[in-house]
Amino acid sequence: MARVYNFSAGPAMLPEPVLSQARDEMLDWQGSGMCVAEMSHRGKEFMSIAAQAEADLRELLKIPANYKVLFLQGGASTQFSAVPMNLLHGGGKADYLNTGSWSKKAIAEARRFCEVNVAAATDDCKFTRAPTQEELALGAEAAYVHYTPNETIEGVEFPYVPETNGKPLVADMSSTLLSRPVDVSKYGLIYAGAQKNIGPAGLTIVIVREDLIGQPIAGTPTMLDYKVQADGDSMYNTPPTYAWYLAGLVFQWLKDKGGLEAMAEINARKAKRLYDIIDASAFYNNPVDPQARSWMNVPFTLANPELDDRFLKEAKSAGLTTLKGHRSVGGMRASIYNAMPEEGVEALVAFMQEFERTQG
Ligand SMILES: *Cc1c(COP(=O)(O)O)cnc(C)c1O
């Protein structure tokens, strides 16, 4: 069966060369006689896979030497609690920007540990824009500032990096990390669940400035203590070995593609192609402020929602799958992460134009 173009928000498509290499190495990784999933995480084979993946990620993101890179489990949602546990440093307050469904969840979890100052919120317009820097009402006593640069469900993305007057900036980059270059030095901590733009589910990446770790609140579970994980090279217990290996193959693929500058050009082109045809049509609509439209997740509605089911069914027959929007937003959503080729976006554009011509 032919592979489809899968527009799922996550778990999402993986690059075909990565899957092919994993297949070729499935029964015997480089003469070891084993699948990577069968290897001891403390053996020299897996240690080399793990070290290479970290080195490649550091190279791709130009991660400064004073940052630790952790390969953890538990998804981004576990970081919603690990962040306050590790970064409050005895303080009782943190600033959070409320810009969509994922920041709402991060805020709800942080409230279990501290007083949350919602420094900006865009719920009044159903999360269809990003707040400006001038709107951010940052608290003087906040231990850190947390935000979600790309809201996966609403398709809203910050067009700038917030300035926080020296407070550590924490970013949930689950659906945008590796889509373009990032100046890591502007952040205290970056985290991301892998299943959007990095690799398979089961792996979570944390990039954290060294001086911020080592003062967790009393009662922090050992597994959630960043210092323990950093000192143990993310092997305090058995790490998600196979997911780590696949992410490493994705990093190599990104390097082969020319790195994150090259990905940024491709991703900007893919997003523009979709938004352009949506804006040019009265049949499709995207409600997000053009300044704050996501490169990765493109939600759109049809003028006549009664055609939604037909749209999804015909798209699926055309090999374009998982286009249904999140239940909280409705309509459609095309997630176009790194692994979605430009041909996939072209196929979607052609389908949408033909659907409008025949049904509009
Ligand atoms: C998907 C997603 C999450 C949740 O990730 P899990 O790994 O399932 O916990 C959190 N934040 C953002 C921005 C996401 O896109």
Pocket probe for ligand 1: among 77, 154, 329, the residue whose CB has the most ligand atoms within 8 Å is 77
Q: Is the pTM of this model over 0.85?
A: yes
User: Among all residues, which ones are annotated catalytic?
Assistant: 102, 172, 196
Ligand 1 atom at minimal distance to the Cα of residue 102: 11
* pLDDT of amino acid 2: 86
Question: Is the per-residue pLDDT at 273 higher than 80?
Answer: yes
* pLDDT tens-digit map of 19-42: 999 999 999 999 999 999 999 999
Question: Is the per-residue pLDDT at 1 higher than 70?
Answer: no
* pLDDT of amino acid 107: 98
* pLDDT tens-digit map of 321-333: 999 999 988 999 9
77 CA to centre of ligand 1 in angstroms: 6
* pLDDT of amino acid 320: 98
Average pLDDT, the chain: 97
* pLDDT tens-digit map of 61-79: 999 999 999 999 999 999 9
Q: Which residues are annotated as a binding site for pyridoxal 5'-phosphate?
A: 76-77, 102, 152, 172, 195, 237-238
Which CATH class for the 259-359 domain? alpha beta
Backbone angles phi, psi at 335, to 5 degrees: -95, 125
What DSSP line would sit under 241-295, residue for residue?
HHHHHHHHHHHHHHHHTTHHHHHHHHHHHHHHHHHHHHHT-SSEE--S-GGGB-S
Average pLDDT over residues 148-163: 98
Q: Check if CATH label 1.10.8.590 holds for domain 17-257.
A: no
* pLDDT tens-digit map of 216-271: 999 999 999 999 999 999 999 999 999 999 999 999 999 999 999 999 999 999 99
Question: Is the per-residue pLDDT at 360 higher than 90?
Answer: no
Q: Which residues are annotated as a binding site?
A: 42, 76-77, 102, 152, 172, 195, 237-238
Pocket of ligand 1 (CB under 6 A): 10, 75-77, 102, 148, 152, 172, 174-175, 193, 196
Average pLDDT over residues 292-318: 97
Integer Cα distance of 284 and 302 in angstroms? 5
Question: Is the per-residue pLDDT at 303 higher than 90?
Answer: yes
User: Where are the domains positioned within the chain?
Assistant: 17-257, 259-359
Q: Which residues are annotated as a binding site for L-glutamate?
A: 42
Ligand 1 atom at minimal distance to the Cα of residue 195: 7
